[in-house]
Chains A and B, each alone.
Chain A
């Protein structure tokens, strides 16, 4: 069995509007290995949330997946399944059982008029018709205890719980049917740092125990460096660099990655004067020519404003930058 759980090839998502469409994800390719945590970092408008909805096939018009494949190899399936052409009915077989999602706002992800326990038994019994009410309740308690919640909290309505507790509950819910891949969209942006670390420590522990893989999207690169095995950096709808958390932190190859990494002041290392990245992220309706980052790039040179760099391997990393193009290796030293 292949080690790759998910292989995304050339995924392109456009928002169709009058007067032309906008490409929020442009030719995105990456793989997720079994049991791995892949972090996706980017700023607003980088396409990271669009990527999440496309991966889980939850995109709604005007967003349309116009090209690419999402090859998924859940357990017990010999041939990879391409999620892109599947119908909603076919997808239902995979949702929760193979592929689950944790949204940013737990309040919106949970049904406000149902007690928490009812939402768990609903999911459990839908995916396992043979499961009786008592069995579902027992399983609900087990799931809640995985994330440190009590059976008493299963009898609460979502509004009676704190934001952190709700978010833990949605994580338990995502794990209800033993998914191979859990996709998380800014799962801890709405909670404070202490709760954030408690929640993510739980996710990490459960990943080790249960072996699911995680795609975690966030704007907080400093957090991903601690948490993720590998990190993909997105800018203006494209992945500009993929590498191990260690390499992204210690040896960023793309100038945007380097700028983003330097945008987080250190907690303990000596304080020096730092600078963010000059300029502002581009408007996807009016992308700069060539490399979309070139107007903000401190290292731009001749081809950057005309030739779009392709994502290609540089050592163990993959980078889309002319500084690292093979045919231009002589320029790297300059």
Chain B
């Protein structure tokens, strides 16, 4: 059994009100009853397509919104949206790395300024300069004196993302939330950034949330994978179990659709691209389908899929899914 969760979402739902034309309003049901736990020294990958609610969950963890229902707990204590010094206390433990390293660093200021601000905001009282060099070493931007005086535009995307990580590490957090941290980087830089995140997790015991649309990278980095579809978590568990033995029809679709050259290149040199049938698109979250939101696209949908979201079925190894295929009706009621 792992330690108790450092940070967890307990049954959170999130609804946004959006204004249309002519004073009309609509409700976006972005997240429905999502629970997710982050543990010290472990990575949870949250996988899903765009619009599935991955970023909304990360923002709830970052206390950018108050969930419509449910709560975020830090070491078991419920936390709400905060300001001032209580917010600072939270952010000294929970930090976020964003997708776009071009937008997340102040372009007018050097790496030194960007790092120093984080340290000062959190009242660091040691040798600032030495700590900054130490942070740059930690993210392998060495020799550090070559990088500390640079402006963001003088760095590559990968180097910028390392600076963002160094800045997040400035407060010695316990939890790092990575929202698509590698998707804007050049392909040849991505693995080394994942390796860096893995070493921070292993050596400093960081609890890591890795949000991605790329299930192969989730498998590479994470011990646990959770799959999200249209605001609902549909499957999760040990990474290898989820990848090699997917249960939910959506997870199966996602795995089939993901590029895997090893699967299809035959020795004859004929590539045999695995086609998938047109299976529609994810629904609008303004008026999502009832029950399991995947049912309009699901090849094995049954009557109950349209009316109610299924209860969770779990296996002994921690692999779980929410799907009527595996739920007998007596259990659900």
Contacts and interface: CB of A to CB of B under 8 A. Distances in A.
Name which of B157, B158, B268, B269 has the most chain A CB atoms within 10 A of its CB: B269
Interface string B41-52: 000000001100
Nearest to B158: A280
Interface string B266-282: 11111101111111011
A244 B257 contact: no
Contact of B191 (A43, A268, A275): A275
A221 B262 CA distance: 12
B318 interface: no
A79 interface: no
Nearest to B155: A280
Nearest to A199: B278
Contact of B271 (A201, A246, A262, A275): A246
A211 interface: no
A110 B331 CA distance: 51
Contacts of B187: 43, 219-221, 260, 263-264, 276
A267 B267 contact: no
B159 interface: yes
B85 interface: no
Given A201-B273, A222-B260, A222-B261, A195 B281 contact: yes
Contacts of A267: 215-216, 219, 243, 255, 258-260, 262-263
Contacts of A205: 275
Contact of B275 (A165, A197, A220, A281): A197
B28 to A, nearest CB: 16
Contacts, number: 149
A138 to B, nearest CB: 23
Interface in A211-249: 219-223, 225-229, 244-247, 249
Contact of B265 (A195, A246, A263, A273): A246
B261 A226 contact: yes
B190 A263 contact: yes
B269 A247 contact: yes
B219 A194 contact: no
Contact of A228 (B156, B217, B271): B271
B62 interface: no
B256 interface: yes
B27 interface: no
A276 B260 contact: no
Interface in A177-227: 192-198, 200-201, 204-205, 219-223, 225-227
Interface string A43-79: 1100000000000000000000000000000000000
B17 interface: no
B16 interface: no
A118 to B, nearest CB: 24
B262 A268 contact: yes
Interface in A82-136: none
Given A221-B187, A268-B243, A194 B260 contact: no
Contacts of B258: 193, 267
B308 interface: no
A227 B268 CA distance: 15
A106 to B, nearest CB: 14
A275 B269 contact: no
Contacts of A265: 191, 194, 216-217, 219-220
B232 to A, nearest CB: 16
B254 interface: yes
Nearest to B261: A225
Contact of A219 (B156, B186, B257, B261): B186
A295 B279 CA distance: 46
Contacts of B25: none
A201 B274 CA distance: 8
Given A193-B254, A197-B256, A274-B220, A268 B188 contact: no
Contact of B259 (A43, A223, A260): A223
B192 interface: yes
B159 to A, nearest CB: 7
A281 B263 contact: no
B253 interface: yes
A1 interface: no
Contacts of B244: 268
A162 interface: yes
B201 to A, nearest CB: 14
A269 interface: yes
A162 B219 CA distance: 29
B254 to A, nearest CB: 7
A193 B276 contact: no
A266 interface: yes
Contact of A201 (B220, B262, B275): B275
B286 interface: no
Nearest to A197: B257
A309 interface: no
A186 B206 CA distance: 36
Nearest to B260: A267
Name which of A193, A201, A220, A244 has the most chain B CB atoms within 10 A of its CB: A193
Given A225-B261, A245-B265, A162 B281 contact: yes
A263 B188 contact: yes
Interface string A250-278: 10000000011011111111010111111
Contacts of B261: 222, 225-226, 249, 264
Contact of B273 (A148, A220, A227): A227
Contact of A249 (B50, B265, B268): B265
Contacts of B281: 162, 164-165, 195
24 contacts: A44-B157, A192-B50, A192-B213, A193-B254, A193-B258, A194-B254, A195-B281, A197-B276, A222-B261, A225-B259, A226-B259, A245-B269, A246-B266, A249-B261, A259-B188, A260-B187, A263-B187, A265-B216, A265-B217, A267-B259, A275-B191, A275-B195, A276-B189, A276-B192
Given A165-B281, A226-B263, 12 more contacts: A44-B157, A193-B213, A194-B253, A195-B281, A200-B273, A246-B271, A265-B217, A266-B216, A275-B192, A276-B187, A277-B188, A281-B188
